[in-house]
Amino acid sequence: MERLEADEGVDGMAAAPEAAREVNATPGPRGLADLTPTDGRRAHVIKDDREAIEAARALSDDFAVEAAQRDQDRRLPWPELERLSASGLLAITVPKSHGGPDVTPATLAEVFRLLAKADPSIAQIPHSHFVYINVLLEEGSPAQKEFFLAEVVAGKRIANAQTERNTRHIKDLRTRLAKSEDGGYILNGTKFYTTGALFADWLGVMAKGNDDLIYVAYVRRDSPGVAVDDDWDGLGQRTTASGTVHLDNVQVDPTRVVPHHLTFDRPTRYGALAQLLHTAIEVGIAGAALDEAAEFVRTKSRPWFESGLETAAEEPLLIQQFGELAIRVRAAEALLAQAARAVGAARQNLTDDTAAEASVAVAAAKAFAGEVAVEVSSAVFEVSGTRSALATLNLSRHWRNARTHSLHDPARWKVQHIGRYVLNGTKPPRHGLL
């Protein structure tokens, strides 16, 4: 397929309120929230990095208040996502030439860390939004960028329809984008782990064309033939609605197709940026678990009777454990910051060397952060005592979220690529998971 230029005056504003909810949905364990996205969404325009971090910090404080209850009830975060859209944070990577602030990777990572510290499900939902903005920035035509980036600045949300189940491996895509008789395309397939699809205005669908190469087709969430099932039943990240998307003879305008395969024909920071955001989510989970454990010990835990102390927070053994856990969390935060700087350096001067360094730096941060998030969220119970296991407190959500999120891609392969790079100077491969 040739690169496809978009026409002027393309359609595609927000779906009507009823259509903005799930299409042909299968309710999850607790059913769906009553609230739905509003029509005619409008968003604030963030001016710079400082304002982006301030906005994320404010939302983080608010989102943290009911995070445990949302998880326990599996209450999908419709109103929270509306606030996220309205805040302007979903447009912070849009170039200044298209009306956005084009923040640094360091700022983007910090925004995700802050959101994840409050509620990692909410942080996970816009991950694909930024990845599929990046697809457009990498290979979209000028007209495609003009249209879709304007949608993003207006507060529209993009989600993924990327991964499939029951295939040989993650890159074995069965979804097909076939040429139709009228000059357009027809999309058929089934996707799973489609985080954010239930809440989205647009879906970025990864599919193979007639030439067996990878393309991304951007389709409206309410397009005929698109059905989203709310059938995600993961033990963690429970309110991401990462369920199934069905694509049944979905008509796709040629102006909506981007040749994603070209992204990997040259040095790219595409994968490093995507993995940086995953890393930030795990660092946020680790920080939240440590903070909640400390608060629990200060206010609820009883001292062990042999200590002779009045409070658990005075126990030297607990103090030692918290010190060791804090060091691990700080190390994860430092690796995240270092990785963000490497991705930023690649953005300023993209070469084979800077792209490789960005991928390796992010891989190191991601492998470590996943380990720390699982470790610290498990240690919450050890340091807090028997009462912390009560289901009503829902402290298990930290471990469940960390364990679920860390399964996105295996750390063992990241460690392999780091070792090859350090020992033999072998640059990591170019793909979206590194």
pLDDT (tens digit per residue) in 346-405? 999 999 999 999 999 999 999 999 999 999 999 999 999 999 999 999 999 999 999 999
CA distance linking residue 414 with residue 140, whole number of Å: 29
Angle at 243 between CA 237 and CA 245, to 5 degrees: 150
pLDDT at position 271 over 60: yes
pLDDT at position 159 over 80: yes
Global pTM value: 0.90
Half-sphere CA count of 33, side-chain side, radius 13 A? 21
pLDDT band, residue 26 (cuts 50/70/90): very low
CA distance linking residue 20 with residue 53, whole number of Å: 29
CA distance linking residue 133 with residue 93, whole number of Å: 8
Other C-beta atoms lying within 10 Å of the C-beta of residue 375:
16
The candidate with the shortest Cα–Cα distance to 76, out of 61, 91, 66, is 66
pLDDT band, residue 94 (cuts 50/70/90): very high
The candidate with the shortest Cα–Cα distance to 4, out of 119, 147, 114, 118, is 147
Token pair of 431, please?
A: 């793909």
Class of domain 266-424: mainly alpha
pLDDT band, residue 40 (cuts 50/70/90): low
The candidate with the shortest Cα–Cα distance to 108, out of 271, 280, 240, is 280
Domain locations in the chain as residue ranges = 49-262, 266-424
Burial category of 233 from C-beta neighbours within 10 Å (exposed 0-12, middle 13-18, buried 19 and up): exposed
Q: What percent of the chain has pLDDT over 70?
A: 91
Whether domain 49-262 has CATH 1.10.10.10: the reply is no
How close are the terminal C-alpha atoms of the chain, in Å? 26
